[in-house]
C-alpha cells in the first residue's frame, strides 16, 4: 500500500513539473513550441519510468535528461564543425581550381581524369558554399530567415553532394582498377567523352533521386515555423523507407565496388613487375589513392549511414509508442547523429587530396606554383598505365611469335 501511494505521488509530481515546463515553453517563441513537441514522446517515456520505478533519483534524472536537449548540442557542435569545414574546403578547392586553370592554360585541354575531378570539385563547392546558411541557422538559435525554398535547396544540395561524391569515387576506383588489371579496356574508355557521359548520368540520376526533397511540404500546423534542417516526426515512416533504399543503393553497393577494386589494385601493386623501377612513384600514388578513397568511405559515409538508420528506427519506435528502452539511449543516438552528419560533411575537405593524387600532373603544377622541387613522378608518357601496357604488348607479341613458329 505504501509502495502504491509513493508511486502515485511520484507520478503526480512528475506530471505537475512537466505541465509547468510545457506551459512556460508554450509562452515562448514558436520554434521552442515545436522543439517541445518534437521531444514529447521521449518525455512520456521518462515520466512512465519515473512512475514505474518509484525513484526520487530517477525522477531528477528524468528531469535533467528532459532539459539536456540535443538541440543545444546541435547549436554548439554544428557552427564550429561547419566553420572549420568551410575554411578548409574553400581553401583546398581554391588551390586546385588554380591548378586546373594553369593546366588548361598550358595545354588548352583537360585529361579524362580531370573531367571527373572537376565534377567532384563542383559537387563539393555546392556543399561548401551552403555551409554559411547552416551556420547562420544554428547561430540564430535554430531560426531560419531565408525562406522555405532555400531550406529545401540546402537539404537537396547536401544529399546531392553526398551521393554524387560516392559515385564519383566509385568511377575513380574503377578507372584505377581497369588501368592496372585491364589496360586495354582502360585505354578504350579513358576519354573525355566517355567520362563526361558517365558524370552526366551520375548528376542526372542522383538529381532525380533527391528531387522529393525539393517538393516536400510542411504540415499545415507548422506553416508559421521558422525552423529548418530538422526531423519532422510525422514523416519518420517515409524517411525510414527512403533511408533503407538509399542505404543499399547509395552506400552498400558503392562500398562493395570500392572494396573490390581496392583489393585487386593492391594485389596488382604488390605483384613484382619488370617495370617496377620506372613505375614505383606511380605505384605509390595509386596506393595513396586507394587509401584515401577507402578512408573517405569508412570515415565520412559509413558512420553517417549506420547512425542515420539507428536514429530513424529509434524515432519511429518513440513515435509509435513502442520504445521500451532508456531515454539516455535516445539522447545519445540524437547526439551521435549530429557528429555523424559533421563527419559526412567533412568529405568536401578530404576530396582535394584525391585531386592531388588522382589528377595527372597536379603535383608537378603545384610544385611549380609553390617554387618547390619539380617532381618527375607519373608524367605523361611514363605513367603506370602506359608502362604496364607496353610490357603487356611485348608479352603478347612474343606469345604470338612463338605460336607462329610452332605452327
DSSP assignment of 121-137 equals HHHHHHHHHHHHHHHHH
**Range in 45-54, 74-83, 388-397 with the lowest mean pLDDT:** 45-54
**What does the alpha-carbon distance between residue 37 and residue 43 come to, in Å, rounded to a whole number?**
10
Q: Is residue 33 over pLDDT 80?
A: no
Question: Could you tell me the maximum CA-CA distance found in the chain, to the nearest angstrom?
Answer: 104
In sequence order, which ranges of 108-223 are alpha helices (DSSP H)? 112-139, 148-181, 183-189, 192-209
pLDDT digits 0-9 by tens, 122-166: 999 999 999 999 999 999 988 899 888 898 899 999 999 999 999
> Could you tell me the pTM of the whole model?
0.72
- Residue 264 is predicted with a pLDDT of 87
- Residue 358 is predicted with a pLDDT of 62
Q: Is residue 335 over pLDDT 80?
A: yes
Helix axes 112-139, 148-181, angle to 10 degrees: 150
Confidence of residue 341 (pLDDT cuts 50, 70, 90): very high
Question: 210 or 12, which is more confident?
Answer: 210
Span 363-369, mean pLDDT? 50
Query: 41 and 330 in contact (C-beta within 8 Å)?
Result: no
| Cβ burial, residue 64 (10 Å; 0-12/13-18/19+) | exposed
Q: Is residue 42 over pLDDT 70?
A: no
Placement of cell 585531386 in the chain: 355
pLDDT digits 0-9 by tens, 173-231: 998 888 888 888 888 888 889 999 999 999 999 999 998 877 765 443 445 557 888 87
- Residue 217 is predicted with a pLDDT of 54
- Residue 350 is predicted with a pLDDT of 87
**What are the distances in angstroms from CA 97 to CA 19, 110, 366, 380?**
57, 13, 11, 21
Other C-beta atoms lying within 10 Å of the C-beta of residue 7:
15
State percent of the chain over pLDDT 90.
Answer: 30
Provide the phi-psi class of 164: left if phi over 0, else alpha when psi is between -120 and 50, else beta. alpha
**What does the alpha-carbon distance between residue 370 and residue 352 come to, in Å, rounded to a whole number?**
17
Question: 165 or 102, which is more confident?
Answer: 165
- Residue 337 is predicted with a pLDDT of 94
Q: Is residue 110 over pLDDT 60?
A: yes
- Residue 85 is predicted with a pLDDT of 96
Name all contacts of 106-112 with Cβ < 8 Å and 24+ positions apart.
109/192, 110/192, 111/192, 111/360, 112/190, 112/191, 112/192, 112/194, 112/195
Placement of cell 515562448 in the chain: 28
Name all contacts of 243-249 with Cβ < 8 Å and 24+ positions apart.
243/308, 243/309, 243/312, 244/309, 246/163, 246/209, 247/305, 247/308, 247/309
**What does the alpha-carbon distance between residue 382 and residue 285 come to, in Å, rounded to a whole number?**
14
What's the first-to-final CA gap in the chain, in angstroms? 104
**Range in 253-262, 272-281, 339-348 with the lowest mean pLDDT:** 272-281
Query: 192 and 115 in contact (C-beta within 8 Å)?
Result: yes
- Residue 270 is predicted with a pLDDT of 77
- Residue 367 is predicted with a pLDDT of 52
Q: Is residue 252 over pLDDT 80?
A: yes
Span 382-406, mean pLDDT? 46
- Count H helices, E strands: the chain? 16, 0
Among 382, 381, 391, 354, smallest CA distance to 114 is for: 354
- Residue 230 is predicted with a pLDDT of 82
Three cell numbers, residue 404 = 607462329
Interior CA angle at 308 toward 304 and 314, to 5°? 150
What percent helix, strand, coil does the chain show, rounded to 5?
A: 85, 0, 15
Span 16-20, mean pLDDT? 41
pLDDT digits 0-9 by tens, 259-318: 999 898 888 877 766 554 445 556 677 777 888 889 999 999 999 999 999 999 988 888
Question: 198 or 375, which is more confident?
Answer: 198
Placement of cell 525510414 in the chain: 240
Confidence of residue 47 (pLDDT cuts 50, 70, 90): very low
State percent of the chain over pLDDT 70.
Answer: 64
Query: 176 and 265 in contact (C-beta within 8 Å)?
Result: yes
- Residue 268 is predicted with a pLDDT of 80
**Domains of the chain with bracketed CATH:** 2-67 (no CATH), 70-217+224-387 (1.20.1070.10)
**What does the alpha-carbon distance between residue 322 and residue 233 come to, in Å, rounded to a whole number?**
15
Amino acid at each position: 500500500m505504501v509502495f502504491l501511494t509513493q508511486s502515485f505521488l511520484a507520478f503526480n509530481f512528475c506530471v505537475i513539473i512537466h505541465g509547468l515546463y510545457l506551459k512556460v515553453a508554450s509562452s515562448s517563441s514558436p520554434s521552442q513550441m515545436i522543439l517541445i513537441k518534437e521531444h514529447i514522446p521521449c518525455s512520456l517515456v521518462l515520466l512512465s519510468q519515473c512512475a514505474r520505478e518509484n525513484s526520487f533519483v530517477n525522477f531528477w534524472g528524468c528531469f535533467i535528461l528532459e532539459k539536456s536537449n540535443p538541440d543545444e548540442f546541435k547549436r554548439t557542435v554544428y557552427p564550429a564543425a561547419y566553420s572549420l569545414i568551410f575554411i578548409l574546403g574553400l581553401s583546398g578547392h581554391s588551390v586546385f581550381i588554380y591548378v586546373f586553370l594553369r593546366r588548361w592554360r598550358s595545354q588548352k585541354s583537360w585529361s579524362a581524369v580531370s573531367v571527373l575531378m572537376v565534377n567532384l570539385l563542383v559537387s563539393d563547392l555546392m556543399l561548401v558554399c551552403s555551409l554559411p546558411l547552416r551556420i547562420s541557422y544554428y547561430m540564430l538559435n535554430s531560426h531560419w530567415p531565408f525562406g522555405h525554398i532555400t531550406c529545401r535547396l540546402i537539404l537537396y544540395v547536401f544529399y546531392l553532394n553526398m551521393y554524387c561524391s560516392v559515385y564519383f569515387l566509385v568511377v575513380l576506383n574503377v578507372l584505377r582498377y581497369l588501368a592496372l588489371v585491364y589496360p586495354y579496356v582502360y585505354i578504350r574508355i579513358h576519354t573525355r567523352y566517355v567520362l563526361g557521359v558517365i558524370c552526366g548520368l551520375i548528376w542526372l540520376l542522383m538529381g532525380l533521386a533527391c528531387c522529393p526533397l525539393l517538393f516536400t511540404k510542411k504540415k499545415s500546423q507548422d506553416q508559421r515555423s521558422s525552423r529548418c534542417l530538422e526531423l519532422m516526426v510525422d514523416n519518420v515512416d517515409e524517411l525510414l523507407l527512403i533511408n533503407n533504399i538509399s542505404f543499399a543503393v547509395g552506400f552498400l553497393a558503392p562500398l562493395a565496388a570500392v572494396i573490390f577494386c581496392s583489393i585487386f589494385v593492391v594485389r596488382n601493386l604488390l605483384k613484382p613487375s619488370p617495370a617496377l623501377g620506372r613505375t614505383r612513384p606511380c605505384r605509390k600514388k595509386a596506393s595513396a589513392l586507394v587509401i584515401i578513397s577507402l578512408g573517405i568511405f569508412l570515415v565520412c559515409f559509413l558512420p553517417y549511414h549506420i547512425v542515420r538508420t539507428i536514429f530513424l528506427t529509434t524515432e519511429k519506435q518513440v513515435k509509435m509508442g513502442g520504445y521500451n528502452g532508456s531515454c539516455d539511449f535516445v539522447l545519445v543516438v540524437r547526439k551521435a547523429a549530429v557528429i555523424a552528419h559533421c563527419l559526412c560533411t567533412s568529405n568536401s575537405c578530404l576530396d582535394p587530396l584525391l585531386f592531388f593524387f588522382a589528377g595527372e600532373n597536379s603535383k608537378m603544377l603545384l610544385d611549380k606554383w609553390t617554387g618547390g622541387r619539380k617532381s618527375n613522378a607519373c608524367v605523361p608518357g611514363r605513367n603506370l598505365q602506359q608502362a604496364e601496357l607496353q610490357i603487356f604488348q611485348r608479352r603478347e607479341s612474343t606469345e604470338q611469335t612463338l605460336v607462329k613458329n610452332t605452327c
